[in-house]
Structure formats: C-alpha cells, structure tokens
Chains A and B, each alone.
Chain A
C-alpha cells in the first residue's frame, strides 16, 4: 500500500459526497477565515497606533509639570508653573543622552485672517521643536534662532488652518493672521499629518517661536513643557533618568516622591497603547478560535456518520485485503483533507475579508505570516485530532459483521 493509493482512495470518497464535504469544510473555512481576519484587524490597529505614535518620534522624551503638595494643598498639574527656561538650558548642557531639547508653550484661541476666523492652538518652541516632534515644513521656511531671540511675530500654519482661513489650495505664505490680537506673518506651511489614533486633527495647529507665544501672547515666565529627543529609542530610559536628576537639582528636590514634574517617554506610551490592542486582538482571536473548534467538531461528527454509513464499504475493503491500518489511514486522510483544504480556502477567504473590511471601513489590516502558519497548523491538528477517533472506530470493525451491516 503506498501513499498515493491512500490519497486516491480518500480523495475519491470525498468526491463521492461533494456537497457534504463542502458543508463540513465550511465550518473550518469560517473558523480559519475569522481567525485570520480578526488577528489581521487586531494586528492592523496595533500597528497603526504604533506608527502614529512613532510619527511623533519613538525617541521622544517629554517633561510635564507634575502635581505637588504646597503647604498641605494638593496642586493640579496644569496649575503648576514649575518648569522654566533654566531647566531647558540645564538639560541641554548636562544630559549626554539628550540629543535635542525645546521648551513648549501653547495657547488656544481664535485665529483671524481677513473676515474669517477659526479656533486653533498655537504652539511655541525653539528651532529644534519641530525636529523633536517630527513635524515637517511643506512649504516656506522654519523660523531662525535670531527670530526666536527677537520674539519675531512669525508663524507656520497647519493645513487645516490654511483651508479654513484662506480656502483650500491657497498659498498663505506672506499673509498675516492675528491670534489674540497679535498679528503674525506666515512664513511656512506644515506638512500634513492627518488624524492621530485618538481622532485629533494634527494639522490644526500653528507653530511660532516660544518667545513670541510666551511673552507676547501668554505673558508668562514659566514654560508648559519640555520636549527632548533621546539619542535613541533604547536610550530613552537613560535620558529620563538624566533629566530627572537635573530637574530635581534645579528644583531643589531630594525625595523623588516630591517631584513637581513628570518625565515620560513616547516609547512607554506606545507600549501601553499597543498592550491594550494586544488584549483586544487576543479576545477577537479567542472568539474566532472557538468557531474553529466548532468546525473541528463538525468534522468529527461527519466522520462518525461517514463511518457508520460506510460500514459495508469498510467490510468489503477489509475482505479484499485492506488492513486495519489502511482503513484507519483512509479515514484519517479524509478528515485531514477536509480540514486542510478547508484551512487553505479559509486563509484565502480571511485575506479577502480583511481587505474588504479595510477597504470599506478604512481599518488598517496586517496579516502576519505567523497567524497564517498558526491557523494552518491548527487545522491540520484538528483534522488528526477529530478524525482519529472515528478512524479508529472504523479500523476496529470486524469484517464479517461489517459486511452484513444493514
């Protein structure tokens, strides 16, 4: 008995019952397709979160004012005025794992140009600011160090601001906008970034020298945040430690529990959000896995019916020289053919569903070779596992009884 013969026998048996074979396969097809699609959608959302957050730079390390007790009164972090330009200078000078550093100040309000106005946010930074936050200039130029020192009334505008104040496709460079009564010359347009994963429009912003925003618009002495680039993503942790040490010394804090600032790395945030999406992916995958299991039970059910229905065939095969192992192999191969071909069709269908979903809903879909290999192995295993018992039952039949079976 060779394997080709066994394959021919099993394949022939399946072809004699095309409809039933197809319906049995359907359970596996749906199971595998949903596993592939669910994992694909889950992976896709994870990757898109990662990409968008990395869009701000994975080596980003930023400092926010932290909450602190002052004379027994707990202060809200936004009220804190703990960060100053001296901190920025100290970080730039003393932290070897910080490649670039910029202060951040921001203000929200109406931007006015001619007879139109638009609510937006103006961000102030130094010349390194845009580099740190991975914002690029699409048109025009960045402001200079000189303009930062001079509190120059210049700004760069995002595409959403351009569209709403000057109309789509307009060239705003050289025009003047007013923000809280301060007129500012537009010297550049920011490259479009689209929405981030939280639905926030990243093009609805104006960037100006921090001095302009801090002194002319807000009239404050402190700054609202410090953005830095670590020398690499892996060295973010080192950068955090260095910045914390510098700031504690600057702020004369001895106990880390009393910190009036918080240092965070983008890499950590990415990890946090992707872990949420990992949990979701696992849940979706588990539900799809259950349907795959049900498909496997469907195969076992049909194989049992098949063994009972073909008892006489089994008896005949034994009478004409089929050994128990041949009968067992025949039914095992049949169930594996069902599950494996179901698996292959399911994988293709899963791809199709994923792309239709991503096309229709705009969801990102990433199908990893891992999930394909995994679901393929799982359905082969299902074929063996759920086919084994019926196959054993068939091979254990007594040929005399099987031949007389009615």
Chain B
C-alpha cells in the first residue's frame, strides 16, 4: 500500500465579496498517494484554482480537513504554513515566476535560502544537481532573459525539486508554451513521476491530462468525475510523432 500524501475530507472554502458569500468549494473529498500523477481539470470558476491554493498551503480552507504528509494543515498559522510550503511543496507556475537578471543557478537556490538547515555549500550542490536533472547542466549561469520559455520552465521545475518536496504542484505549467515544448515539459514531468515524484497538475487541456495517470474534474465547487487515465499517452512518443521542424 502506497503512502498517502494528500488527504482532503469535507473541504469547504467560502469567499465574502461584499454581502455575497461565494461557495468556491462545497465539500471536497480527495486522496492522493505517493507516486501519483494527477490532473485537476475544470472550467474557470469550477474551484480548481482555489483547490490548488489550498493544496499549496497558500490559502486556508473555511472548513474540513487537509492532511499533507500526515500533518493537518488546516490548523496551522501563517508562519507554519510558510515552513510547510518550503519543506513539503514544490510550485511550478504558468508564467515561470523566475527572478529577472538572476542566473538559473541562483533561481534554483532560492527555496534553500529559506531553509535554515541548508548551508551555502550544500545549497549550491543541490541546485546544480536539480538543474542537471532537468537537462540544463550547460545553462546554469544564464539569466531568464537568455533562456527560451521551455528552458525557463525547466529552471522553475528544478527550483520546485531542489527542496525534495513530497508533492509538486503545477499550475497550467504548459499554458505559455507551444505544443512541442509542452510535450517536452510533460516528458520531464513523466520522467520525474517515474522516479517516484508525486505530481498534481492543474490544466484545462484534455490532451495534456491524458499524459497523467488520473484525472479529477471540478465543476461548481464539486468533484464531478474522478477516473484513472485509461488511454495514457507518453510525451516522448508524441514528440517523435511531431513533424520535423525546419530551421
């Protein structure tokens, strides 16, 4: 039996906009175990972004329980949440969110700055290793402006890996990329998943979701469909099938 990484039970989230109360999440039950590759899907307003914010410990639920790696996150305060984010979570954003005019290596080092247990030497070594793992060994001292979109996203993925998180949360991580680069990034995610990383991937593209192992569909604050991906695709095969680019 695989270890449970994320367990959500009866999770509710309400927002107060003026006098109106918006029920963004209306009682979500969800379990994600180690080694899973989950796609969270849904149209805008379905609650998937709110779900991701709560899973990412950036926001606190109004009610219900959320166990992350055995810790009940719902009861933690702001600073404890920051620590959880630092040690347990890796984020990959649609817009990469790298620091400008800062080398790839320094960008990847960033989460380790907030981890007091990591010393300078170890920080550098781990950042190097993470960049090598995403295939950017030769680009360590390039700034984001000197990197392509796909390479920038790889730096961001290396950054999410560097603290060895229990789960990587990717928010539309291929949204800003062309088809080929998207597949390349997805290939990287599939490889990391094969190595045992748990990945939660928010997307609204059904063909990207087919590259994962399980899809969870949100609508109006409810999970309306949860199913294993039966006709799973492999990014490496998709790339091979793409027409050869003429440079």
Q: Across the interface, do B78 and A319 meet the contact criterion of CB distance under 8 Å?
A: no
Q: Across the interface, do B59 and A400 meet the contact criterion of CB distance under 8 Å?
A: yes
| A4-B119 Cα distance, complex, nearest whole Å | 11
Q: Is A255 an interface residue (CB 8 A)?
A: no
Q: Across the interface, do B86 and A320 meet the contact criterion of CB distance under 8 Å?
A: yes
Residues 153 to 207 of chain B near chain A (Cβ within 8 Å): 159, 163
- One of B4-12, B110-118, B134-142, B228-236 contacting the partner: B110-118
Q: Across the interface, do A323 and B79 meet the contact criterion of CB distance under 8 Å?
A: yes
Q: Is B93 an interface residue (CB 8 A)?
A: yes
Given known A399-B58, A400-B59, contact A318–B97 (CB-CB < 8 A):
no
Residue from B87, B93, B100, B116 within 8 A of A403 (CB atoms):
B93
| A317-B111 Cα distance, complex, nearest whole Å | 8
| A8-B79 Cα distance, complex, nearest whole Å | 22
Q: Is B106 an interface residue (CB 8 A)?
A: yes
Q: Which residues of chain B are near A1, meaning CB under 8 Å? A: 113-114, 116
Q: Across the interface, do A321 and B106 meet the contact criterion of CB distance under 8 Å?
A: no
Q: Which residue of B lies closest to A4 (CB)?
A: B120
Residues of A contacting B: mostly: helix
Q: Which residue of A lies closest to B52 (CB)?
A: A400
Digit string of A382-406 for contact with B (CB within 8 Å is 1, else 0)?
0000000000000000011001000
Q: Across the interface, do B86 and A12 meet the contact criterion of CB distance under 8 Å?
A: no
| A403-B85 Cα distance, complex, nearest whole Å | 15
Please classify how large the interface on chain A is, using the bins under 10, 10 to 19, 20 to 34, 35 or more: 20 to 34
Q: Which residue of B lies closest to A9 (CB)?
A: B113
Residues 295 to 327 of chain A near chain B (Cβ within 8 Å): 312-313, 315-326
Q: Is B91 an interface residue (CB 8 A)?
A: yes
| A315-B58 Cα distance, complex, nearest whole Å | 10
Residue from A5, A16, A315, A322 within 8 A of B102 (CB atoms):
A16
Digit string of A123-157 for contact with B (CB within 8 Å is 1, else 0)?
00000000000000000000000000000000000
| A312-B95 Cα distance, complex, nearest whole Å | 10
Q: Across the interface, do A317 and B101 meet the contact criterion of CB distance under 8 Å?
A: no
Q: Which residue of B lies closest to A17 (CB)?
A: B101
Q: Is B221 an interface residue (CB 8 A)?
A: no
Q: Which residues of chain B are near A326, meaning CB under 8 Å? A: 114
Distance (whole angstroms) from the CB of B47 to the closest CB of chain A: 14
Q: Which residues of chain B are near A5, meaning CB under 8 Å? A: 113-114
Q: Which residues of chain A are near B59, meaning CB under 8 Å? A: 400
B residues apposed to A, CB below 8 Å: 53, 56, 58-59, 78-79, 82-83, 85-87, 91, 93, 95, 97, 99-102, 106, 110-111, 113-116, 120, 159, 163
